[in-house]
Structure 1
């Protein structure tokens, strides 16, 4: 904050003690004074300049008076409302230059208030009249640019960063203020601004705040900033993998090749090269603009593109921060910057940060927390499958990485036996499926430990199985209750359907003739009735039996893995079939009795028959999909996880048919860090081999091969024909 002596040269009387903001008579305004300025306060809140102008003409002191208990002036309130910028403009014209520096009880000027509320227009007006406001801190040492970053007002932040000169003192870009600004920008998710700030002030990357925070640690907490922390449905994932994004670091090499991120520009280049007239260019651009707007409106492409752009910017920022830390010459200086981001990324489930850290600093894989837990132990404890899936890339080192024990003597299997955090359990619907997910974790981790660790005890003399049973006893009870409640509800429905369709089979529509045969036996509608009635009876009976078996189950822990979910799947599927066939039976009966030779009656009957089926699908089908997916689907443990990871991290959208830097690096994760001597991982025609050392890899792509040395990456120019 500017010293009081330097400010007093400009404002000897009005602002002689800005440091405290309380010594002036106006700072100690009495309650009657606040009531006195209440009308002008209301005018400022409404943006009514005409009324305020009359009041200010009658009482000139009101221009600089404190009108609230927080020692705010009329300018503070007018800037904070953001309703009428002309009010702020007219008020600033009336005020002397030094009066713009008046502060409230938090030592915030009107510019700080504008930054806090994102009032960019007001900030421009204030800075134009008094640029010194940019260098004034509040009572916790934050400049206006810090407040704009903290409250994620990007437009205001960009303006203040442009207006704030780094060579002025005090500077918001120097030392603690600078690193605090970078941390605020990262925490607000403004990664493009953070990239620019890190490039212009690289020294900030290697600084720490007094509270121990620093940029790399801040980005390691932002799980939503990366593809692994983004939950997209199937259609959104399809759009995400194909929508192009424009990154400043990846310009096209060929100026005549057009712009893959801007197809309209490509069209214009083509038409210009082919000698077409401006008319066709204009039509093409308008059609493209119209179609793009329609598609973005319907498919939400813009939101997905913006999300993908943020993900790419976050990945670039991590690379930039790692590069800045790598500039240290001594590893002892690097080490304090690695452990916390690595472990934080493992807790938050961000494999992208882990992959970049371990790739840049291989020894960081051996960092552990206060409980002596490494990244995979942390991943199991926090149930972050995205991090745990990286273990599949470690070849024969998988068991070695899982044999460590923590401070309490727990193996990784003991940790898998502990109950998952609540926020991870809640991602799965129903206590029974939550129990199934916990069993899947336990069984998957069991595959990586040596056989002796299945029965080994921790310091509390408990085996992994004992820990699992003790930790999950309440979840077993909740899962049993959930299963029984579901089965009870479905049993009633199945029993009612079975009763109805059995009665319908006995009392056929239209009655019987003298020979005892149905009168409509030769009608197509009657055949449909008979078949659908039989299907409904058989499926409802099967559903009833399956739900009864769920009610009489023993509900042991292992039953939740396959036995109970399998019964629930069969019960729900057969119940759905019985409801559908019952409605077909009912529709056929109505047609035979009331709509014979009246085809139009089929339309309302079919529409009404679809209603209960649609309700069942909308209410129960999501549960059925979840159960089938968790029981028979690919699961959360994907041995080929890095394949999808490659597709999500292709950094050059213009060249999808060739493995790029971002696609190759996941394959090498931890292999050279753990000293692998021979690795061969085949996937989709790509084979990686380590040739006698931890720094040389040879890449085979189809019929081409090339060596990788150190941190080199494949490119088209270095490929050689086998």
Structure 2
């Protein structure tokens, strides 16, 4: 009876290699070391484990997430026992052991593999991608910098490799490394049409990488506006102004003529939804998306606005389709916010309206307040009126939000403006109400304790500050 070769391999694996594989899974460093010392050939034995070709490859894949000293030392010892060709073997996905380390960002293991076979750095994986490009794609900065230094035999800064590298860096938000690449090789990503398209697509889908598309806090915005980022450009612009403007517009026109996948021009790409957790509230994210889209609309030729892609969609139609769910979420968020805030504003109206007819300190027989000529009473009266008028304004703004039609364009100016006015006037009404309350307490207790206003001011400052901290990030 003939025995199938696959059955022989399986029997060999189960009898000889399975114990070793189990030690690898359990991170049993000493057991693996002893096993390989007694049977060095086990490292090159075939394994039936999915995705691996040799036991050594299995060790790398199982330990790729472990960066301990013990694992690194043992991997170094094991790598010294196999020949360089074994290190070049690939798994079922076409990955070498070094490629797996680049994807996972295990710099220690990667250095060990490069030490015993430097050629691994130019062995391409799936989609003909180099390990250094995969490290950039995954955002492993240290691994990327090391691979840039040790990769040889291929120019990683030219052609599609250079464009892919730059695109992956932008996609991983490693802008400092991308800028360093451009300084070293100014022509990177511009070797051919395909290269330019790769970089263009990535940039067009990254609106929040730019100040106009990002949401900065008040302090961050102040710092950004105070940073003179354009000063370094002034001398060159003054010296070669005409040349600079000519080059700028030539480059811009070239970008506008490029088309991405499925016949999408730059405006189709901008119309796609870019997820972001930096904007508080779905409605304000719709506003940011609209602002980004309209900013690019102003820069392209009018005849490109009606361009259709391969799905027969114009940029505006792509925008509407991509953002329809976000618009629904924005409508829900706006209504919930307006409902909650309008309830608070209505309560303030009730309180300050009643306070106007029950003045602190009471009135005489003619209805004239007893403390009419006291400064505290005037502060109370003015603050109470301001609280009433501002809370009424706030309620009207929130009612305007609740009764809005919630069209796509409403999220650009109308709804955000009503929300901002409503929140600001609500904040002002709360602050005025606290001032009126403090003045009323001062009128009642000042004859016994003159300094009562101090603790009142300190305590009254707390709710006003909390409201500002919690709600103003929405604006």
TM-score (structure 1 length as normaliser): 0.51
Decide whether aligned partners of structure 1 residues 551 and 174 sit closer, same or farther in structure 2, where only a CA change above 3 A counts: closer
Give, in whole Å, the separation in 1 of the partners of 2:36 and 2:104.
27
From 464, 469, 472, the counterpart of 1:613: 464
Give the structure 2 partner of residue 472 of structure 1. Answer: 323
**Map of 2:435 onto structure 1:** 584
Matched, 1:113 2:25: yes
Q: 1:567 to 1:19 in 2, by over 3 A?
A: same
State yes or no: 1:529 paired with 2:380. Answer: yes
Task: Select the structure that is richer in helix.
Answer: 2
Deviation at 1:404, TM superposition (A): 1.3
Pair 1:404 & 2:258 matched: yes
Distance change (3 Å), C-alpha of 1:401 and 1:322: farther
CA distance in 2, matches of 1:149, 1:324: 28
Which residue of 1 is the match for residue 341 of structure 2? 490
**2:96 paired residue among 180, 188, 201:** 180
Tell me the residue number matched to 1:436. Answer: 287
In the aligned structure 2, how far is the partner of 1:133 from the partner of 1:155?
24
Instruction: Give the Å deviation of 1:513.
Output: 2.9
1:291 matched residue in structure 2: none
Query: 2:159, 2:192 within 8 Å by CA — same for their partners in 1?
Result: no
Shift of the 458–124 alpha-carbon distance from structure 1 to 2, 3 Å rule, reads closer
Q: Structure 2: where are the runs of 5+ without partners?
A: 1-7, 214-229, 234-246
The 1:534–1:134 alpha-carbon spacing in structure 2 relative to 1, beyond 3 Å, is farther
Question: Any idea what SS the aligned residue of 2:146 has?
Answer: helix
3-state SS of paired residue (2:18)? coil
Cα distance in structure 2, aligned partners of 1:19 and 1:150? 27
Question: Post-superposition shift, 1:21?
Answer: 4.0
1:70-90 superposed Cα distances (whole Å, 9 cap, x missing partner): xxxxxxxxxxxxxxxxxxxxx
Question: SS at 2:371's partner residue?
Answer: coil
Query: What does residue 410 of structure 2 align with?
Result: 559
Which of 114, 122, 127 is matched with 1:206 structurally? 122
TM-score by length of 2: 0.73
1:155 match: 69
Distance 2:174 2:291 in 1: 21
CA distance in 1, matches of 2:33, 2:198: 53
Matched, 1:319 2:148: yes
Deviation at 1:572, TM superposition (A): 0.8
Q: What residue in structure 1 maps to residue 198 of structure 2?
A: 374
- 1:450 deviation in Å? 2.5
| CA gap 1:470/1:176 in 2 versus in 1, 3 angstroms | closer
Q: SS at 2:154's partner residue?
A: helix
Please state if 1:217 is matched with 2:217: no
Relative to structure 1, the CA distance from residue 363 to residue 316 in structure 2 (aligned partners, 3 Å threshold; closer, same or farther) is: closer
SS at match of 2:347: helix
- Displacement of 1:577 in angstroms is 1.8
Q: Given the superposition, is the C-alpha separation of residues 429 and 324 from structure 1 closer, same or farther in structure 2, using an over 3 Å criterion?
A: farther
How far the C-alpha of 1:510 sits from its partner, in A, is 0.8
2:242 corresponding residue in structure 1: none
Q: Which residue of 2 aligns with 1:164?
A: 78
Structure 1 unmatched runs, 5+: 1-15, 24-100, 226-310, 628-722
User: Which deviates more, 407-416 or 551-560?
Assistant: 551-560
Report the CA distance between 1:123 and its aligned residue: 6.2
Aligned residue for 2:349, secondary structure, equals helix
CA RMSD of aligned residues (A): 4.2
Name the CA distance, whole Å, in 2 between partners of 1:602 and 1:166.
Answer: 79
Which of the residues 297, 302, 310 maps onto 1:451?
302
